């Protein structure tokens, strides 16, 4: 078995993605390879989407998702859109079904090039998000940053969109909050036994949100698809918006619909940057015949 496999460097609204083709192989992309690729100037990424064969009726492929630090993620909406674009370009197909740690995801490329991903159903129960202690009402939990009598941020809404999310609601510009400073603290807060994605959201109107996210295992990101889904769902759940909203991220907008059947549909673009071959064991890679 050759050590090198095809890969594509892509992005979804600036969310840097590396799609690695592991079809026909029984091994996996290692954490060491992920860390090595993340450190590269050309291959730095937010998530690796490793596409594997799968023997499961009704499912096309399995996607193994890795963060910059080599940890595994359950879901990545922006990365899934990149996988769809890559596979659609290769196969001519428009619709795909994937298995991830978050479950089964259906996705489709539209005529205009935009891609919709069915991210599944949200989970609000405290022990399934999960949280370390019981909260009957997860639309508002006891968690804050800053002095007890004058917190900078407090009372986030929490849920799982295949991975844990906490959304703090603010009335001022989301860029005015120092996510780079308090994001790591909240990601690793004891209330989140599996860590969490930490977001700051501002409702502009019934159909529009601004959002910034500190992504679990990644850090500040220009776009986090599952966080956009979580913010949209939680905004609707708390009566701040309707069930279809545009979520403005630093990298651009995503359209999120929380359908009446409880499924969350995320629609947005994907962009190809370059391709090459990579060793899934070490992360050594090459492009245009030159060793990187």
171 phi and psi, to 5 degrees? -105, -15
Q: Residue 212 is inside which H or E element, if any?
A: strand 208-215
Active site (annotated) includes residue 224: yes
Alpha carbons within 13 A on the beta-carbon side of 18:
32
Sign of CA dihedral 239, 114, 196, 61: positive
Alpha carbons within 13 A on the beta-carbon side of 87:
30
Residue of 37, 63, 76, 235 marked active site: 76
Active site (annotated) includes residue 82: no
Go through 234-263 and write b for each residue having 16 or more CB atoms within 10 A of its CB, e for each that does not: bbbbeebbebebbbbbbbebbbbbbeeeee
Structural tokens at position 142: 């006891």
Residue of 186, 224, 235, 254 marked active site: 224
Mind telling me the catalytic residues? 76, 224
């Amino acid at each position: 078995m050759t050590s090198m496999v095809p890969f594509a460097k892509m992005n979804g609204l600036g969310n840097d993605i590396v799609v690695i083709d592991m079809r026909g192989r029984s091994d996996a992309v290692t954490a060491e390879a992920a860390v090595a690729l993340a450190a590269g100037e050309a291959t730095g990424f937010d998530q690796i989407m490793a596409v594997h064969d799968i023997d499961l009726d009704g499912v096309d492929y399995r996607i193994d998702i890795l963060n910059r630090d080599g940890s595994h993620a359950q879901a990545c909406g922006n990365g899934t859109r990149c996988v769809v674009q890559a596979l659609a370009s290769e196969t001519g197909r428009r619709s795909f079904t994937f298995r991830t740690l978050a479950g089964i995801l259906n996705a489709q490329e539209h005529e205009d090039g935009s891609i919709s991903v069915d991210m599944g159903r949200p989970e609000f129960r405290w022990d399934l998000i999960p949280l370390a202690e019981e909260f009957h009402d997860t639309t508002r939990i006891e968690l804050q940053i800053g002095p007890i009598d004058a917190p900078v941020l407090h009372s986030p809404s929490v849920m799982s969109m295949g991975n844990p999310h906490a959304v703090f609601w603010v009335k001022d510009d989301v860029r005015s909050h120092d996510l780079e400073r308090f994001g790591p603290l909240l990601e690793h807060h004891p209330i989140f036994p599996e860590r969490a994605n930490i977001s700051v959201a501002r409702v502009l109107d019934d159909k529009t949100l601004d959002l910034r996210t500190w992504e679990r295992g990644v850090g500040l990101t220009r776009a986090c698809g599952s966080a956009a889904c979580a913010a949209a769902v939680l905004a609707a759940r708390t009566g701040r918006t309707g069930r279809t909203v545009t979520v403005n991220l630093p990298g651009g907008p995503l359209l999120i619909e929380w359908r009446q059947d409880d499924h969350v549909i995320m629609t947005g673009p994907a962009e190809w940057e370059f391709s090459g071959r990579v060793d899934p064991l070490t992360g050594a890679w090459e492009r245009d015949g030159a060793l990187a």
